[in-house]
Each structure stands twice: as C-alpha cells, then as structure tokens.
Amino acid sequence: MSPADAKRGASIDDAGRLVPTSGSDAPAVLSDEEKKVLDLLVSCGAARTPAQLATGCGLERKQAAQALDGLRAKGLVTPLNTLVESYIARFPGIEV
C-alpha cells in the first residue's frame, strides 16, 4: 500500500475487497455500528441519509451519526453536497 492509500483511509486487497486502514499499515478498527453502516452503504451502492442508515441498520439515530463520524474520520464515507444530508461509501483512489 502506498502512503497515498494510507491517507485515504482504505486500500483494495488482492481479492478486490475494501480494506480500511488507519494512518499506518495496520487495518483500522471499526465498531460494530460502523461496520453495519459501511456494509449498508456499500451494498446499496447509493447515497443514504443518516435516518435511512439508522433504520436500515437497526440503530438509533445517535448511533448512526456516531458511526458516520467515525467512518468520515477514517476516510471511508463522504458527505454529498446536497440539500438533504446524505453520505456515500468512499473507495481508495477516488478523490473527493
């Protein structure tokens, strides 16, 4: 993994899977809530609002918001510039 990949927060492994990473080469640790939110965003392939994510993951809105904050800090999701707050999964190599 290149230093640029580490800064992006994730890389793609040999099997083509998204592997979150922290600033080092060690994988980033995701909470259970972060895993649920990221899995939903990746599987649906479209942007979702925090309320939709909370409902789809079976989380309270506060838990979903905390998970989104953590995923944003790790560079794994990005907010969209829309009127309604919404997020989408972010993949390595795609600058936002």
Second-level CATH architecture of 3-89: Orthogonal Bundle (1.10)
pTM summary value: 0.68
DSSP conformational letter for 53: H
| Tens-digit pLDDT profile for residues 5-31 | 444 556 666 655 666 655 555 556 889
The three-state secondary structure class of 79 is: strand
Name the pLDDT band for 4 (thresholds 50, 70, 90). very low
pLDDT in tens, 30-69: 899 999 999 999 999 899 999 999 999 999 999 999 999 9
Contact 8, 27 (CB under 8 A): no
